[in-house]
Structure 1
Amino acid sequence: MRVLSAIHNEEQLAAQLSGLGVEPGGVLMVHASLHAVGPVEDGPGAVVRAVRRTLGPRGTLVVPAFTPENSDTSAAYRDRVRGLGEEERAAVRAGMAPFDRASTPAPLMGAFAETVRLAPGALRSSHPQTSFAALGPRAGRIVADHSPDCHLGERSPLARLYELGAQVLLLGTGFDRCTAFHLGEYRVAGPPRRLYRCVVSANGGRRWWEYEDVDLDDSDFGAMGADFERAASGGAVRTGFVGRADSRLIGLADAVDFARHWLPVHRSERS
């Protein structure tokens, strides 16, 4: 029977992460719900330290640092302006701050990701909508050259994580949050594309920038993840508790390759 500790600490969490299979010296992308983990001594910082302790000095920690708040083509914007009139919507757009890699927060990514982004030595990629933050010896390679018109494809940190054999930790989150599946969307034949628009810095001010990229859709990631887990073999999906959080550890390349084959079949069925 699993005993729930009232308050967790860094050492306990590190032991659980090690038991789950986090690889010392490896590269690990984390999607975390600290609410699911439960109370921890010293809060989010202790959880980040537990992950880094498990990875060791040669390991690299990566988190999404996405910023849909400065776009008027994002789901976050649609939610924000739902029910507003045109003048009110225009005021929202006028108040959007341009993306700044050093200072723009990523509040929708949660406290764990923000703690990593703000940590001394953290590096961040430059995409104004889907940046990543990383800590560790391979952080520079991972975040470099993130093309501004490639959210999550071959010219993004996801492709570098694929090359490096990264693991993905879903720490109290579901497969619906598994960003790795998006790289699979780029690797299907002829993925649908659409226009995106966001506010960027320009000559000390701000301007709207519009670009075309793959039409990203995570609405079926939960179903895809369930199929991925059922089909997994050889430890491709490891499950366990970290704190109170029901968690999964997967190989990023395994997830991407599964998505590349799953998506054409299942999305054609629903179209």
Structure 2
Amino acid sequence: MTDGTRLVRFLRDLGVRRNGILLVHASLSGTGLAPAVVRDALLRVLGPEGTLVTPAFTPENSDTSDRDRALTAELTEQEKAAYRAAMPAFDPDVTACPAVGALADCVRATPGAVRSVHPQTSFAAIGPRARELLAGHDPHCHLGEQSPLAQLYAVGAQILLFRVGFEACSAFHLAEYRMAPLLPTRTYRCVVGGGEWISYEDIVLDDSDFAAIGALLPRGLLAEGEFAGKTATLVEMRDTVDAAQRHMSGYTRRTA
């Protein structure tokens, strides 16, 4: 049995729906699998009418991201200016997304893949519903009601956390947005085509409690299995986002 065939069997046994919509967060480190093998296994399980979606986030083009703050913390103002001047502008057709893993970047780069247009939190997708699901991603809305997450929720997508935990579950941000009147906002900045810098207001994203929220989810919502020594978790997006929102509503996550 080839590695790809073994993965196909694993994903089917886990409950990935044929002809469904699947949002995947994955870590391939330690599996020995090439990203293209994993992509092809996922597409095989999803079938001809299924659609594969991954995050294609790009914190590399922002001077307000946590990544930028960490990388520039010890630089002088002159060095910071030079660093930011050299930042690559976001181009949805060619900009890589290494921050979210090899599988996501493989999906993004696959001929025929579709990518949403948000310059920092885009998504990539392959399949007959890719364009529909990724259309209308407001450049001023990271992961809320004007993002692909809301579309995926509406169509009843599944979420696969392949060898990563709920700390990587971007769909929890949709629950976060649904509490938005209670949350502060801040200014985000990033560089886009032609070297133009844009800024916009959006909520203060906070994933610091996502792992804890995942641990509180009813076990009946989860299908779990082990692959290459780490857990893979499959959930229904609607049930998971709704449960996360209930947990978030039960305590004060932050104050403005």
TM-score by length of 2: 0.95
Partner of 1:3: none
Determine which of 207, 212, 219 is the counterpart of 1:218. 207
Q: Which amino acid aligns with 1:199?
A: V
Q: Check conservation: 2:117, 2:137, Cα contact below 8 A.
A: yes
Q: Which residue of 2 aligns with 1:265?
A: 250
Give the Å deviation of 1:178.
Answer: 0.3
User: Who is 1:247 aligned against?
Assistant: 232
Of 8, 19, 36, the residue aligned with 1:14 is: 8
Contact 2:24 2:52 in 1 (8 A): yes
* Secondary structure of 1:218 counterpart: coil
Task: Give yes or no for contact 1:13–1:50 (8 Å, CA) kept in 2.
Answer: yes
Measured in 1, the distance between the counterparts of 2:244 and 2:120 equals 22
Q: For residue 39 of structure 1, what is the aligned residue in structure 2?
A: 32
Q: Deviations for 1:23-66, whole angstroms, at most 9, x for unmatched residues?
A: 00000011000014x113xx111111111111111110000000
Asked if structure 2 preserves the Cα contact closer than 8 Å seen for 1:8 and 1:243, the reply is no
Deviation at 1:232, TM superposition (A): 3.6
Which amino acid is the alignment partner of residue 104 of structure 2?
Answer: A
- Change over 3 Å in CA distance of 1:215–1:57 after alignment to 2: same
Aligned residue type for 2:9 = A
1:178 aligns with 2:169: yes
Contact 1:197 1:211 in 2 (8 A): yes
Task: State how far apart, in whole Å, the 2-side matches of 1:158 and 1:242 are.
Answer: 26
Give TM-score, length-normalised by structure 1.
0.90
CA contact (8 A) 1:8 1:39 kept: no
Q: Which residue of 2 aligns with 1:83?
A: 74
CA offsets 1:88-145 (integer angstroms, 9 cap, x no match)? 1111111112110101111111111011111111000000000000000110111101
Please state whether the residue corresponding to 1:211 is helix, strand or coil.
strand
Q: Where does residue 23 of structure 2 map in the other structure?
A: 29
Which structure 1 segments of 5+ residues have no match?
1-6
Structure 2 residues not aligned, in runs of 5+: none
In the TM superposition, residue 207 of structure 1 has moved relative to its aligned partner by 1.7
1:60 to 38, 45, 51: 51
Q: Distance in 1 between matches of 2:178 and 2:150?
A: 11
8 Å contact kept, 2:26–2:101:
yes
Residue in structure 1 matching 2:122, options 113, 118, 131: 131
Residue type of the partner of 2:70?
A: D
Moved more, 239-248 or 106-115: 239-248
Does the alignment pair 1:71 with 2:65?
no
CA distance in 1, matches of 2:35, 2:43: 13
Percent identity, aligned pairs only?
Answer: 49
Q: Aligned pair in 2 of structure 1 residues 221, 86: CA closer, same or farther (>3 Å)?
A: same
- Equivalence for 2:186: 194
The 2-side partners of 1:94 and 1:51 are apart by 39
- Amino acid in the other structure paired with 1:99: F
